[in-house]
Amino acid sequence: MINDFKHSQYAHCESGVVSSMLTNSGLKISEPMAFGLTSTLSFAFFPIVKVNGMPLIAYRAIPKNIINKIEKSLKIKLFKKSFRNMLEANLELDKALENGKLVGLQTSVFYLPYMPSDMRFHFNAHNLLVYGKIEKNYQISDPVFENIVECSQKDLIKARFAKGVFSPKGFMYYVDKLPKNIEFETILKKAIRKNAKSMLTVFPYAGVRGMRKLVSHIEKLQEKDERYIKNYLTHIVRMQEEIGTGGGGFRYLYAAFLKEAIKYNLDVDKLNKASELLTLSGDTLRNFALKCVESAKKIERFNPKEISDILIEASNYEEKAFKILKSI
C-alpha cells in the first residue's frame, strides 16, 4: 500500500485516473490538461452502430485514448497489459501493488458493489486506481467518488472480466518511467490543432457535422411511435450525461484546458475566445439534454424543431471555437 497516496475527485474517470496517477508519481498534470493534451474532445453519431438497440452517440474519443495518447505525447513509459486468465491478472495486480505501483484498471460499472444501484449499468470502460490491498480487499481511488472506497478481490475480478462491448479483459496499467524534460508549448499546439481538425472533419458522422447529422434524425422522430421517441430521447440523455462526464461536461473540461494552456506562451486571445465558446456549448448541451428529458416524460411536449435548434446552436459554437483553434 502507498501510505502517502492523495485521493482527489474528478469529472471523468479516464482523465481523472491519468491525472491522479501521474501527479502521485511526481509529474503534476491536471485533469483538463490530461484531457486536452490527448485531443480527446469529440463528437460521433453512428446510426448503424447500436448501443442497447439505439445509435452510438459519443462526445469524446474512444476509451483508452487518454491512456494511450498521454504516453505518446509526453513520452511517458507505461506498463500496459490485458489478460485471458483471471488468476494471472490477480497475481500481476498484487505484484505491482507490492512494488509500490499505483495501478489503473479498466472495469465494468455494473459489477462494482460500491456503486449506487442507479449508477450500475453495463458500461465496460470505467477506469479506477488501485493503491493498496488489505487482506482480500483492494483500496481504490475511484475518480468519480469524493472519498476512497474498497472492493473485494472477488468483485473486482468480476468487474475486470465483464463481457460485452469494450470488454476490459483485465486491462491494467501503471507508470514505468517519466520523462526528464517536456516541451509543453510544442506539444500543446500540436494537440490543439489535431483536436480542431477532428472536430471540423468533412466526414458527415463526426465532429460538428456529426452533431448536425443527429439533428436530422431527431427531426424525423415525429414519424415514429411514442415508445420509440421516448426511448430515443432517453438514450440521447444517457449517452450525453451519464456515460463519463457527458457532452456538456467534456466541453467544460476542454474549456478549462484552453485556459490552462495560456501559461505556455500560446495565443491568449484565441484561447480565451475558444474557451468561452466551448463553455457556451457546454451550457447549450445541458439545455438540450433537459429538453430531451422533458419531452421523454411528457410526450405531448415533444417539439423536434425546438430540440434540434438547441443542438444546432451548440454545433455553431463549436465550429467557431475550433476554427479559431485551428490557427493556433
Is 69 part of a structural domain of the chain? no
The pLDDT of residue 239 is: 84
Cβ–Cβ < 8 Å for 108, 168: yes
Cα end-to-end distance, the chain, whole Å: 44
What is the residue-level pLDDT of the chain in tens, covering all 328 positions? 677 899 999 989 999 999 999 999 999 999 999 999 999 999 999 999 887 789 989 999 989 999 999 999 999 999 999 999 999 999 999 999 999 999 999 999 999 999 988 777 778 999 999 999 999 999 999 998 999 999 999 999 999 999 988 899 999 999 999 998 999 999 999 999 999 999 999 999 999 999 999 999 999 998 999 999 999 999 999 888 766 556 688 999 999 999 999 999 999 999 999 999 999 999 999 999 999 999 999 999 899 999 999 999 999 999 999 999 999 9
CATH number for 173: 3.90.70.10
The pLDDT of residue 291 is: 96
Is 87 part of a structural domain of the chain? yes
Q: How many CB atoms lie within 10 A of CB 61?
A: 21
Same domain, 304 and 283: yes
Is 231 part of a structural domain of the chain? yes
Q: Give, to the nearest 10 degrees, the angle between helix 246-261 and helix 268-297.
A: 170
Same domain, 189 and 213: yes
Is 6 part of a structural domain of the chain? no
Same domain, 279 and 188: yes
Is 318 part of a structural domain of the chain? yes
Q: What is the Cα–Cα distance from 52 to 66, expressed in whole angstroms?
A: 25
The pLDDT of residue 18 is: 98
Cell (9 digits) for 200: 471540423
Same domain, 278 and 140: no
The pLDDT of residue 106 is: 98
The pLDDT of residue 4 is: 85
Cβ–Cβ < 8 Å for 69, 38: yes
Same domain, 252 and 295: yes
Same domain, 148 and 292: no
Same domain, 242 and 126: no
Is 108 part of a structural domain of the chain? yes
Which of 34, 41, 33 has its CA nearest to residue 59? 41
The pLDDT of residue 113 is: 95
Q: What is the pTM of this model?
A: 0.93
Beta-sheet pairing, 41-51 with 126-134: unpaired
Same domain, 215 and 251: yes
Is 121 part of a structural domain of the chain? yes
- Domain range holding 106? 13-37+77-177
Same domain, 199 and 164: no
Same domain, 94 and 144: yes
Q: Quote the number of domains for the chain.
A: 2
Q: What is the Cα–Cα distance from 286 to 10, expressed in whole angstroms?
A: 19
Which position has the grid cell 475527485?
9
Last residue of a domain, one of 177, 205, 237: 177
Is 140 part of a structural domain of the chain? yes
Last residue of a domain, one of 177, 197, 232: 177
Last residue of a domain, one of 142, 177, 212: 177
Same domain, 293 and 255: yes
Same domain, 142 and 221: no
The pLDDT of residue 246 is: 62
